[in-house]
Structure 1
Amino acid sequence: MTSATTTRAPRLPAPEPPPQAPRRRVTGRRLGLHAFLMAVSLGFLAPLALAVYASLRPYDETSERGYFSLPDTLSFDYYRQAFTESGMVKYFLNTLLIAVPGVLVVLFLASFVAFATTGLRMRPRLTIPLLMLFTAGNLLPQQVIVTPLYVLFNKIPLPYWMSDSMTLFDSYWAVILVHVGFQLGFCVFVLANFMRALPYEIQESAIVDGAGVWTRYWRIVLPLSRPALAALGTLQFTWMYNDFLWALVFVSDGDKLPITSALNNLRGEFFTDYNLLAAGSVIVALPTLVVFLLLQRHFIAGLTLGSTKG
């Protein structure tokens, strides 16, 4: 009789635990750096916290005890009053009619120029002066050209369905054009540096496959530039949303003014309730906070891209 022999599988060695990252020593220099950053953060948040705190208290109480005293009552009555008395819904819509087209046009035109200077491999003799020309526009103080633009916009005709004044003045288009003109240089500068960091081999492969210029721009470069576009979109929306100067100069109809002008409706002729004004300011600031929270991931990715290269 033959006896069956059983073979045992060899035992595998136990997997080694993953190496743990060494702990950083807590030094006095690091503690000082964190303390400094916390102090700067609190310094930036202090005005906002004070505005929120004041908006929840009655004006009689703060005028008697001061803004840094302990409250007796807290309520949201000022928020309801600020939202209803200033007509903020209408001004919110006016602001969106200015900011949303302005942001889209700026990013669209800036991406065109940035792709032309980086994705098409233009000669450096043409690329560098072109980028310097776009960037130099941001060095010009905006207040210098207020009067020339005011005269010019009063002479440019528009159809009645685009402007009640039959000119570019007193229309949303005037404010949008000014924002596009001033913000285009900054966006071109940022996007050009972003697109220059993209590997050109991707476009070379697309060229071999027969992709044209528009296909490379729309299907390859633009999707890869989404973090930079999101970061710029957040900044541009915030800047256009908070603008007060250009709308005040180029819009004479009170029903067309943006949301920043609605705060003037909360100021009385002989008396100003600053707690009510603080509540209105907090309401006005909420949309920019919402936009940042929605685009936060892309915004941070756009700012930190390339920080670990080198």
Structure 2
Amino acid sequence: MYPRPIPEDAKVQRALYVGGVALVVALWLLPLLAVMLTSIRSNEELMAGNYWGWPQKFSLVENYTAVFEQTAMLRFFLNSLLITIPSVIGVLILSTLTGFVLSRYPFRGSNLIFALFVGGNFLPAQVMMIPVRDLMVRLGLYDTVYALIVFHIAFQTGFATLFMRNFIAALPGELFQAARAEGASPAQVLRHVVVPLVRPALAALAILTFTFIWNDYFWAIVLTQSDAVKPVTAGLNNLRGEWTSAWNIVSAATIFVALPPVVMFFLMQKHFISGLTMGAVKG
């Protein structure tokens, strides 16, 4: 059941609702605000214990410059791009193909295959840690970007297949019947009918998959060891010192690392909204 809208004349209830929403938003943004303030503080203020007060001295340029001059964050950033972009492309391609076949060309055992795709998402990561690591060692991919690319494509394709299968299955069947009547092959149907109509799903899936892979930390430390191939999530852990940590530098690097998913969302938002407003058929 959906919640009933609050009447216009119920001023007390509306005020409580607005106040509750504002409180939740404030609590959610508070850690982000703390990180942003810490990223522009000087190290002297942090050593003096000024964590929540307004910065007495702004070290914005110094802290963000130090991220690239004193750390290997640029290398980690490039590694994340080398891992995330091919993984997202691979997931989109495989999930579109599997979703198209499982939704429009059922065959004996198709439900079992689909159940395997879905069931893999319920396995805890800790259960797969040792088998996946041993597999990458045997394949000679351990401690390379290819290990993370192969794993993320394999792991994310399960959820993406569920997403794409349901979306393609909801498309009007008349479109496929008309395409087959015109003599279109399955590949032509996929290219000229399905792909243009599933652009909103592809945009949403690209945003979700990019965020999942970019923010992954567990598999980044399981399948990589050297700094030459570590992504940004594992690289951030290297900024912590043995005895003390420059939290202003760590916070500045964290803000820098968080920018690509945000940029990805705003870049894909236009295509996502425009795709949702496109009609498949005219009534």
Q: TM-score, normalised by structure 1?
A: 0.80
Which of 39, 62, 66 is matched with 2:23 structurally? 39
Structure 2 partner of 1:73: 57
Question: Could you say which residue in structure 1 is the equivalent of 2:233?
Answer: 260
Within 2, Cα distance between the matches of 1:302 and 1:190? 16
1:195-238 Cα deviation digits (max 9, x unpaired): 12111111111111111100111111011111111111111111
Aligned equivalents of 2:272, 2:28: Cα separation in 1: 20
- 1:90 correspondence with 2:63: no
The answer to whether the Cα contact below 8 Å between 2:227 and 2:235 also exists between their aligned partners in 1 is: no
One-letter code aligned to 1:211: A
Superposition pairs for residues 207-286 of structure 1, below 5 Å? 207-286=180-259
Mapped to 2, the partners of 1:291 and 1:263 lie a distance apart of 21
Aligned mate of 2:88, from 88, 103, 112: 103
Partner of residue 161, structure 1: none
Q: Distance in 2 between matches of 1:304 and 1:129?
A: 34
Deviation string for 1:248-276 (max 9, x for gaps)? 22223321111223223422232112122
The residue type equivalent to 1:59 in the other structure is N
Within 5 A, what are the aligned runs for 1:294-305?
Answer: 294-299=267-272
Helix, strand or coil for the counterpart of 2:167? Answer: helix
1:299 is displaced (CA, Å) by: 4.5
Matched residue, 1:138: 121
Aligned residue number for residue 113 of structure 1: 98
> Is the 1:86–1:262 Cα contact (8 Å) retained in structure 2?
no
Equivalent-residue separation in structure 1 for 2:167 and 2:183 (angstroms): 25
Report how far residue 99 of structure 1 moved: 0.6
What percentage of residue pairs aligned between the two structures are identical?
A: 36
CA distance 1:185–1:39, change in 2 (3 Å): same
Q: Bigger CA drift: 128-137 or 288-297?
A: 128-137
Answer yes or no: is 1:64 the counterpart of 2:48.
Answer: yes
Using the alignment, how far apart are the partners of 2:16 and 2:170 within structure 1? 35
Q: Hey, what does 2:137 align to over in structure 1?
A: 154
What number of residue pairs does the alignment pair up? Answer: 270
SS of 2:138's equivalent?
Answer: coil
SS of 1:74's equivalent in the other structure is: coil
Contact 2:99 2:165 in 1 (8 A): yes
Mapped partners of 1:79, 1:187: distance in 2? 36
> 1:196: which partner in 2?
169
Q: CA deviation at 1:300?
A: 5.8
TM-score by length of 2: 0.87
CA distance, structure 2, for counterparts of residue 302 and residue 236 of structure 1: 18
* One-letter amino acid matched to 2:98: V
Aligned-partner Cα distance in 2 for 1:273–1:104 = 36
Give the partner amino acid of 1:100.
Answer: I
Q: Distance in 2 between matches of 1:283 and 1:253?
A: 22
CA contact under 8 A between 1:230 and 1:295: conserved in structure 2? yes
Greater radius of gyration (CA): 1
**Separation in 2, partners of 1:196, 1:103:** 22
Structure 2: distance between partners of 1:65 and 1:227: 48
1:288 paired with 2:268, answer no
* Structure 2 alignment gaps of length 5 or more: 1-6, 279-283
Residue deviations 1:167-211, cap 9 Å, x none? Answer: 122222211121112111111111111112111111111111111
